[in-house]
Amino acid sequence: MNIYSRPIESFKYYLIGILLTWSAVTFADYVPPSDMLEEEIVAMIRNFMSKPDIPLKGERGYVEDIMRINAVDMEWDIGMSVHEPVDPSKVARDADGKKIGIFLLHGGSGDFKTMHKRADLMAKKLGYKVISMSYPGRHAFHTPDRIWPGRNVTAYDHHKYSLEVRTPIWLRGEHITRDQYDIIKDHGQRPRYGIRTLARAKPGTTFYYRMAGWPMAFEKGGVEAMKKHFPEDEYSIYVHGHSTGGPFTMMLSQRVPNIRGILAIENSSFGYIYRAQAAWGGQLGKIEGFTRVEDEDILLPSRSDPFNELYIRSWRDSARYKGPELLGQEGPEALMRLPMIMEDILEDWGDTQRYASFKAEYIVTHGIEDSLRQAAEVTAKRMNLGKEETEELVDRYIGLTRELKGRGVKPVPPVMFQITAHSRDHSREVYEEVVIPMFGKMRPAPKVSLTQFDLGTHGYMNGEHVEGVPFGVGPAVFQQWDDAIKGGYFQ
């Protein structure tokens, strides 16, 4: 039954939402709840969506910004959208009285558009200024609407069945030609991914050097975007990276002085922690194919993606999430309609892929240090660096996967983890047994909390089985962020 169709029930949920919000922001030090039950989530969503809209700048509700930066002696274009109230007085402030800035990074196959629903809701309902940045190479500079045209894999010679794939655009006007890469069919991770299609950059090509250099462009691009749009004397910044974006917001959190907190709904952690999370099975010591990291009492998977291989995503990536989600929502009976499920997955994938649908970020998100070292050494050789400078660059690359340490280093800011009911990779058990203990070993250890939502999937903005929830658990997540930001959790 639609719970919103009954006046008494509707009013009850509205009152619950009001009380939850009031109680959260009236205490000096907000403490995130351990669990959010369905009734509470729905009430919070209703209360959030009932807030009046604040007019935003731009005809589309945002303004696009493109920055050109120089990193490792190469130029890079970084694209983003800026969502903010027309009236500067409407920009919300945190517990310290600073304006609230939100920095968003999308997930593994998307670009800045993937986060637009989130950015729009936070800006118009809460008055935040929000930036949604594309990863280096993910912005479709070559189309007016920034939608990627056509398919991400095409056959360009039907007689030989040669394949051509979509490649990143790291610089406006630059195009990676077909002669710069080989197509590889990888069967090595078939239980998780199926057969993967990879574009392997040939040594000495522009593609090769871009694949070696993009981690440094990502680091500098994020820093410069926040420096430009969130001046330190005006703004407190709160960062969120969905899924693959998580390790990059974790990395940036110590490199931008006015980042005050990490908003971590369904996001992966630092690369070395996510490796441990991916390895977890309750008995880490008995898992084969893993290596032990120095000074860490945990086993990490020996994943070995080369830095010069671009993963071309497919319908298989949708399938690997849909299976566990349906298992949690419906149980094994869902397999009885497997043909229907696959039809839906293939239809959703479609004949064209509007988002980038390729991925190079595993070397950072999984902390693949050998590949990062190789990328740094290739970059150093191109730049004609000496031995000492090369090692410094290697340290910078590998440092993207871990918290910074040492005298004078900004500590990791407070983290607010949130996980959904039917997530494939983010369970309460793995957070309590692996993720949170590893944060506890940091010096100094940051404040960390964990909230389990009783609804939702990894794509937490997707509609749930509860009628009238078109944005999934997203609005409830954003309300909890607002309660924490204004209630002192990040102070």
- The mean per-residue pLDDT over the stretch 464-490 comes to 90
SS3 for 413-470 is CCEEEEECCCCCCCCHHHHHHHHHHHHHCCCCCCCEEEEEECCCCCCCCCCCCCCCCC
Six-digit token pair at 291?
């290596």
Q: What domains lie within the chain, and their CATH numbers?
A: 26-37+48-139+215-280+386-397+404-487 (3.40.50.1820), 153-210+306-381 (no CATH)
Q: Which of 344-353, 396-405, 438-447 has the lowest mean pLDDT?
A: 344-353
Q: Which of 232-246, 295-309, 326-340 has the lowest mean pLDDT?
A: 295-309
Place of tokens 């191109």: 382
- Which pLDDT does position 295 carry in this prediction? 47
Higher-pLDDT residue of 138, 335: 138
The rounded percent of the chain whose pLDDT value lies above 90 is: 74
CB 400 within 8 A of CB 251: yes
Higher-pLDDT residue of 424, 275: 275
CB 402 within 8 A of CB 367: yes
- Between the ranges 10-24, 339-353, 368-382, where is the mean pLDDT highest? 368-382
pLDDT digits (tens, 9 = 90+) for 256-313: 999 999 999 999 999 999 988 887 754 333 334 444 444 444 444 457 899 999 999 9
State CA 288 to chain mean position distance.
Answer: 29
**Report field, pTM of the whole predicted structure over 0.75:** yes
